Each structure stands twice: as C-alpha cells, then as structure tokens.
Chain A
C-alpha cells in the first residue's frame, strides 16, 4: 500500500500549510475561516482527498490521508476541521455508502470543493447517546409521497455556517435514517454559534429544520441504516481524522516547546538544561511517536479493510487526543507567561487539543468502546498475538 503522499502532493500541502500557519491565530481571533482558504484547499484537491478518483477525488490511501491531515492540522486546526467534516465525515461516507444516484448528484462537487458539506448528528438533548436506544434524538422524518419531511434541531454543527449540504441523521420512532439536505431547501435555518473554546474559525452553527421536504432519492443507504451504518461509518472516518489531528497538534506543540526551551535562559542557563523541563520534553517526544504509530497502525488496517480497523481507530483517537492535550498543556508550562499569551501559539494549541477529547465520541465514550473490545479480546487468557 502507498504509505507516503506522492512528492508533488506533499509539496502542495507543505506550501499551503506554510501559508496558513502564520494566519491561524487571526482566523481563531476573527472566528472565521475565510472563503479563500476553502478555495485554496479545494484547488489543491484536498477536499476530495479520500474520495475515489472516479468521483473526482484524489483517492488517497488512509496513510496518505493521515500525512495530509498532520501537515494541514499542524498549521491550522480549523482548516483541518474542514478536512475532517467535509471530506472524512461526509464525502468519504457517501463514497462508501450511498446510491449511485446520490454519488452522481453530489460527490463530484464535494470532491472538488464546489459545494461544502457538514455532518449533523448532535442535538441539544442528544450527544454521546445519539443513536443509542436510551438516546433522545428529537429530529424526526416522516415519509410523505416521494419525499421525507424532516423536523428538528441540531447543534454544534461544524461548518454549518458555510455548508451547502448537510448530512442529517433523523429518527422515526427509533428507526434512524440519514438524509442529504440542501442548505437552500425551504425550512432550513442556520444560526451561527460564537464563543467556542477551539475550532473557533470552523463556522459552528445550530440548524433548525422545520418541515423540510427532502426528495426520497436523498435518503442515504436504506431506511434504518442511519445510525448503525451511516453515522457509525461517518464517525469511523471522523475518528481517524481526529486521531491524526491529535498528532498534528502534539507535534506542533512539541516543536514550540523544544524551540523555546533551547533559547530561554533562567538561572544563567537554558531552561532546556533543567531536568524537570527535560522530563516534559522526553514525555512529549515519546507520546508523539507512540500516537503517530497508533495512527499508522489504524491506517494500515483501514487500508486492508480489516474489521480490526474499528478498534484500532478508537484506540488511536483516544490516545492521540489525550496526548495532544497533555503535550499542549506542558508546552504552555514550558513557555510560562508567554504560554498564556496569544502572542505565542501554545495557548491556542492547548485550546484546540481539548476539543479533540470531546468530538467524534468523547474520551469516555472511547474508553467504554475500548474496554468492551478488551474484555472480548483478552478475557479468554489464551491470546498469543495476531500476525
């Protein structure tokens, strides 16, 4: 399998990242990713990164996508969030799980970034339990002639503020289904949300759906596929993206930490020569390497379409988001007062890292899934390792 991004694509990504990195603080402050950045991502082909070439995408392997996500995510978390939401959660899911009709109608535009998509699962009363039997998802659909009528309220929807298309999960008495809703369908109202801790430039919004009539052909997969197959599939892609986003933030923080420790003097010596500071550096170096390897393992299993890729992705997401938080927190520590000030990137990385422990399934949700996997896999005491 192709593990590395082809040289020209890597160069394109590095150039784009070099352009984004110095502007990330401004996007964060303004709470707005400019349209022109979305256009740059589209022109580079990155918005169709994992979409097969036949639908206008780059057809990257999971490992190549990981490398791209790390490069972009190191420069700007909100731009990386576009890759997570538009490309992984929506486009890649449609490529895997939608009818030819939907693919023809939406995929080439999504792959080329001519239309932007977002993923609408969460609601004010439905978060970690979205899709579970005890969950209280309130967005409903009812069949009416050759349409489905959607009513409900979604929240925390990244990029809903600029999206043209929404992948909406709704329920009919517990039977979950997924629909593609166009932003300009009558009854769709988008209410921007300001004041987020991180992903501040990611055009966060609430979405209210009032009697939105969606043509039957916009049903993604079958009736009843919404939670088990569409939402879970989307989260499977999204978690992989977030796992690499964690590596990206941790790597950016590590570089910041080391560069600062190598130039700041206290007590007549570089702070990097103090063993207590060195401990933070050593732990960060070790953690970042481990997180990247877990992401690569998940990537290889995904590339082979192995059923084990699901657990491997959850493990990578959990570990890598935790590492991002720890390393970014230690980076703030190493930078001292400067770490607490927006003139340096440490405080932004610290905020962005925390988000990764919450989205695409919180750390507690991942722990529950991983424990379940552990009990199944390792309780039998005759485990000798997989080849």
Chain B
C-alpha cells in the first residue's frame, strides 16, 4: 500500500514539475516585462526610455525601481494604463520587438533579419531539399521577388503562408528544422543573389498539376525545378 502511495506521490511530483517547468519556460520567453525582468529587451527599453527623457538611470538590463517609475511616466504620457508593467500595448508603444519567440537566435545575427532568415530557410528547405545549392538560392529569390511584386503580399510571412501557394505549407513540412545549406542559401538570397533574374514562379515539370503554370515564360532551369515569370 505504502509503495503505491510513494509511486503516486512521485508521479504527481513529476507532473507538477513538468507543468511548472513549462510555465517557467513560458515566462522567460513571454512578452510581458515587469519588476525583476532582465535581459536584452529591458536594455533596449531602457535605452529608448532614456532617449525620450523618461529614464535617467543606468542601462543595466534589470527592471528595477527607476525603470518602473520611467515606465509609469511613459504610460501616463501616452495614455496607457499606468501600471508599470510592459504588456503588449506598452511594448508596441515603446517599439520593442513584439515576438520574442521560442527560438533563441544569437543576438549578433541582426535585428530585423533573423526572423526572416529563419522563415526563408525553412521554406527553402521544405521546397528544395536535395536540389543543387544555387537551386536553393533560386527558390529563396523567387519568394523575395514575390514580396516585391504587386501581385503578391508585401511581407515574407504573407507570401510564404499564402493559401494554395506552396505545397509544404499545406502539408506542414515547412515546420521541419532546415539544414545548414538552406540557411546559407537564405542568407545569399536576402543579400541579393538571384539566379533566376526576377522569376515569380517555380515548379517541378514532373509533378506540376496546373496547366496554367505552363503559360508562364520560363527564365531558367536548375535541377528539377523550372523558374518563370
């Protein structure tokens, strides 16, 4: 009897730990900054608040009394609820990144582009695994050309997640972790390499089902893919 009891206590402890562990992880990556928060976002916020004259303490990366007061002053001045907690609205008002995300990209990788690189690399990986390297760069370039084109959404996420546009988005293959060459290809595409010369479409002649796609003018063939405008 006492043995089953021990086991249940043990199990309950494990369950509780995993629940708290999960919540803990949520807090670290969550969006709300408040008294006691630390990290890059706090540094960024302190810098902004100091530039705007709300804060005159040190840029310490630690949310303390002075930071709290500064946040309250900032919230009052901007018509936000002056609670000293940096929730989603205050976050936007201060101009902090609104998605901290579960993946921790190294801080030295550039601010606005690290998200882009990741999403682009995943798309490239799922669309053109096993293709020659420049074929992967080309797929990345097509996606970026679409972002620039008036016929498609104006953001990378808009283009990638556009319904009926990419097969891997439909079947979820896009969520796989990209390989190293997909990352390099994504960076090369973002840095301006475009093997396709401005193509907006690519397809695999062996599997393409839509007759419409053949009305496009072909610019180049690389590996199994055909690129066109």
Q: Bound pair: A and B?
A: no
Interface residues of B (CB under 8 A from A): none
